[in-house]
């Protein structure tokens, strides 16, 4: 729907437009209100989509705004928001990088009783590739935690780990650090993750193991956030749900970092194709 705002409700996140001679109200959720309400005013051009159900506020029913496509002030002319341009910019940013490191971590989990706890990386999985190309290298292995010499029952149950086998196979953190440093120095990739947890886990690991940081926040691409922004999703989207949606196949999630890194690459490639 593309219309000019007729009136703004100063006390509620509601704006009105004239439809077929009638004054019709549209309601913004708290999330949309925080982002967009300050741009809305009488005479502003809005292009937006609505939710299928109406919402009752007081004695009146309002259509709920699903998302905005454009918000344009006409006098003086100013584009406050343009989803179509934003999507073009996303694709341009993703197209400008030569190498991508799709990376995933599994971390220790606290016991079932409340306690002071700091999660540590104990499994690493990554795939290095160019966009929509075959993997240049891929790897996955267990990493020894620094502080916990015994894994919690919750960790072992969630990751389906045999504790004795884990401590026999796991490599010191320095092995992972040196491998990551070699990749960063050779290929200078963007690191692609699904959500912020892996970014935080990696940066925390540098501090915990007293190593020089190999990455900064702007070295990362959060593929979950890109999906939320591109498709105007209100809630988080699961990685495997995204995979199933793109490829129309079921995938049995095993909570294995190497598998998750490969699925992240496949979702990234499908996202580029979609754009």
pLDDT score of 148: 63
pLDDT band at 115 (very low <50, low <70, confident <90, very high): low
Does the structure show a pLDDT above 90 at 252? Answer: no
Copy the structure tokens of residue 43: 């005479």
Q: Which of 90-99, 137-146, 174-183 has the lowest mean pLDDT?
A: 90-99
Chain-wide mean pLDDT for the chain? 92
Average pLDDT value for residue range 192-209: 95
Half-sphere exposure (Cβ direction) of 5: Cα atoms closer than 13 Å:
23
Quick check: 27 and 41 in contact, CB under 8 A? no
**For residue range 61-78, what is the model confidence (pLDDT) as tens digits?**
999 999 999 999 999 999
pLDDT score of 113: 67
Q: In this structure, which long-range contacts are made by residues 36-41, counting pairs with CB atoms below 8 Å and at least 24 apart in sequence?
A: 36/68, 36/71, 36/81, 37/13, 39/71, 39/73, 39/80, 39/81, 40/5, 40/8, 40/15, 40/71, 41/5, 41/8, 41/73
Average pLDDT value for residue range 101-106: 97
**For residue range 208-226, what is the model confidence (pLDDT) as tens digits?**
999 999 999 999 999 999 9
| 26 DSSP β-pair partners | 15, 63
Domains of the chain in sequence order? 2-82 (2.40.50), 97-274 (3.30.420.10)
pLDDT score of 150: 81
Does the structure show a pLDDT above 80 at 111? Answer: no
Does the structure show a pLDDT above 60 at 19? Answer: yes
pLDDT score of 114: 56
Quick check: 146 and 209 in contact, CB under 8 A? yes
Average pLDDT value for residue range 188-195: 96
């Amino acid at each position: 729907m593309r219309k000019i705002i007729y009136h703004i409700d100063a006390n509620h996140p509601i704006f009105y437009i004239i439809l077929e001679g009638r004054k019709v109200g549209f309601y913004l959720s708290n999330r949309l209100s925080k982002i967009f309400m300050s741009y809305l005013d009488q005479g502003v051009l809005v292009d937006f989509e609505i939710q299928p159900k109406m919402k009752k506020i007081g004695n009146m029913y309002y259509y709920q705004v699903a998302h905005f496509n454009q918000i344009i002030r006409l006098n003086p002319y100013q584009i406050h928001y343009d989803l179509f341009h934003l999507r073009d910019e996303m694709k341009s940013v993703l197209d400008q990088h030569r190498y991508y490191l799709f990376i995933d971590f599994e971390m220790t989990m606290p016991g079932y009783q409340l306690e002071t706890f700091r999660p540590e990386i104990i499994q690493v999985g990554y795939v290095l590739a160019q966009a929509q190309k075959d993997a240049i290298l891929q790897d996955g292995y267990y990493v020894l935690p620094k502080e916990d010499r015994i894994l919690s029952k919750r960790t072992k149950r969630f990751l389906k780990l045999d504790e004795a086998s884990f401590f026999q196979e796991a490599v010191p953190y320095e092995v992972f650090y040196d491998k990551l440093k070699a990749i960063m120095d050779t290929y200078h990739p963007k690191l692609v993750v699904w959500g912020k947890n892996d970014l935080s886990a990696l940066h925390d690991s540098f501090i915990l193991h007293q190593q020089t940081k190999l990455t900064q926040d702007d070295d990362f691409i959060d593929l979950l956030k890109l999906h939320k922004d591109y498709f105007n999703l209100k809630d988080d989207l699961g990685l495997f749900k995204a995979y199933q949606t793109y490829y129309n196949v079921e995938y049995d999630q095993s909570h294995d970092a190497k598998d998750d890194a490969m699925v992240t690459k496949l979702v990234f490639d499908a996202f580029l194709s979609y754009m």
